[in-house]
Homo-oligomer: A and B are copies of this chain.
Amino acid sequence: MTATEGRAETALADAIGTRDAAAFVHVGDRTNATLRYLAGPALADRPSAYVRTATGERVLCPPPGAASAVRETFDGTVVSAGSLGVSAAGERAAAALDARDATGTVLTTAAVPHAAVLYLERAGYDVASTDALTEARALKTDAEIKRLRAVQTAATTGVARTETLLAEASRRDDGTLVHGGEPLTTELLRHEVNAALARAGVDPAGNTLVAAGTAWHDPAFANDTPIAAGDPVLVDLAPRDALGYHGRLARTFVVDTDGGWDRRAHLAVTRAREAGLAELDPGTSASRVHEEAAAEIVAYGFDAVGEARTDGVHALGHGVGLARREAPWLTNADELEPGNVVVLAPTVFDAAEGGGVRVADLAVVTAEGYDLLAEYATSLSPSADGSR
């Protein structure tokens, strides 16, 4: 049993005991963070069912053809689909429970596919939700922190690549940037950044955001408009490693700043970063981290962060792990604990001023305060050696 499987086991034993349930069931494929947490990496890309019984048995029901591969890494019981004679994962879970004479309540997660619940209900089980795993996942093991550190270190190579390309670019008469004779575009930067991530052994995971000026929402929006020397260029990365752990690193660069709005915005977000990081301490309420960082941004005369159009930031940060976003949430008052891994992503966006500015870093809460999972300078001007 791996370290995460051990934590999951404790959390599930607790939840099953407290609710007097017969089992816990989850269904998902290898992209599912909960299932990765429960059963490790050797999952198929079609849905598997995971069953943990009240008696402590851990059962994995992979899809047809996948049982022998799964047996090599999962140390619980593996039930081959063929032996069950059913093809839907929820049906396989119900069959595995029936084979163990289970009755009564089965716990599952809120995100389990509805069809799986229907199979369990049709088989006579009462289904109830538990968030026991969400809570367990918020506290990382040392092995998990090591992986997060490695993926975050890989992320720095992507930011460094952006910075180098911007620093090496020259400016045309119309104010746009060229690199190696080609117009420098967010689409070109996205390709180069993702290639750097791939070389460093992590997957861009469709999360790479390279934005210039006001085109600032979604990875799909990188485009072939030449970047202007005065545009704030955001590179915001959340790569994923082979086991599913995510990094998160963002920096904003301006090749030729006029020292006005973008510099003030950058000062606001870097001060917000410092203020938020300073609050990362066991016992501090998670929302206080958000509040202290947001207060800095407001003190610089900018809007409360992330209420703007920027996708995904209604708080200044959140937990990161097997999911890109997970507990702890900086929107609630839960106390931080050693082992929480959070991203702080202070952001200012103003379409009228021509763009947005964000820095984002990943830190682990320690007994003494916090530790950044990778270091990367926060300068607004790009330097050719990638700020490192």
Which secondary structure dominates where chain A touches chain B? loop
| Alpha-carbon gap, A314 to B65, bound state (A) | 6
Q: Which residues on B sit within 8 Å (CB–CB) of A191? A: 198-201
- Quick check: is A372 within 8 A (CB to CB) of the other chain? no
Q: Which residues on B sit within 8 Å (CB–CB) of A196? A: 195
With A42-B218, A45-B325, A114-B110 given, is the CB distance from A206 to B240 under 8 Å?
A: yes
Determine if B201 and A198 form an interchain contact, defined as CB atoms under 8 angstroms apart.
no
Q: Which residues on B sit within 8 Å (CB–CB) of A366? A: none
- Quick check: is A103 within 8 A (CB to CB) of the other chain? no
| Alpha-carbon gap, A308 to B208, bound state (A) | 36
Q: Which residues on B sit within 8 Å (CB–CB) of A313? A: 65
Q: Which residues on B sit within 8 Å (CB–CB) of A204? A: 198, 203-204
Instruction: Give the number of times this chain occurs in the complex, counting copies.
Output: 2
- Quick check: is A333 within 8 A (CB to CB) of the other chain? no
Interface size on A, residues (CB 8 A): 66
Determine if A113 and B115 form an interchain contact, defined as CB atoms under 8 angstroms apart.
no
Cβ-defined partner of A69 (8 Å) among B111, B218, B243, B306: B218
| Alpha-carbon gap, A18 to B210, bound state (A) | 45
Shortest distance from the beta carbon of A219 to any chain B beta carbon, whole Å: 6
Cβ-defined partner of A195 (8 Å) among B30, B117, B198, B221: B198
Q: Which residues on B sit within 8 Å (CB–CB) of A324? A: 45
Determine if B205 and A325 form an interchain contact, defined as CB atoms under 8 angstroms apart.
no
Q: Which residues on B sit within 8 Å (CB–CB) of A220? A: 41-42, 242-243
- Quick check: is A56 within 8 A (CB to CB) of the other chain? no
Shortest distance from the beta carbon of A177 to any chain B beta carbon, whole Å: 19
Determine if A41 and B218 form an interchain contact, defined as CB atoms under 8 angstroms apart.
yes
Shortest distance from the beta carbon of A369 to any chain B beta carbon, whole Å: 29
| Alpha-carbon gap, A306 to B127, bound state (A) | 35
Q: Which residues on B sit within 8 Å (CB–CB) of A113? A: 110-114
Q: Which residues on B sit within 8 Å (CB–CB) of A63? A: 312, 314
- Quick check: is A194 within 8 A (CB to CB) of the other chain? yes
With A65-B312, A311-B69 given, is the CB distance from A217 to B115 under 8 Å?
A: no
Please encode chain A, from 225 to 248, with 1 for each CB lying within 8 Å of some chain B CB and 0 for all others. Answer: 000000000000000101100000
Determine if B314 and A30 form an interchain contact, defined as CB atoms under 8 angstroms apart.
no
Closest 4 CB pairs of A and B: A194-B198, A110-B115, A41-B220, A69-B217
Q: Which residues of A contact B (CB under 8 A)?
A: 30-31, 41-46, 63-66, 68-69, 72, 108-117, 127, 129, 187, 190-201, 203-208, 217-222, 240, 242-243, 306-314, 324-325
25 A-B interface contacts by CB (under 8 A): A41-B218, A41-B220, A42-B220, A43-B218, A44-B312, A45-B311, A46-B325, A63-B314, A65-B308, A66-B311, A66-B312, A68-B309, A69-B217, A69-B309, A69-B310, A108-B114, A110-B114, A110-B115, A111-B114, A112-B114, A113-B114, A114-B129, A187-B201, A203-B206, A206-B240
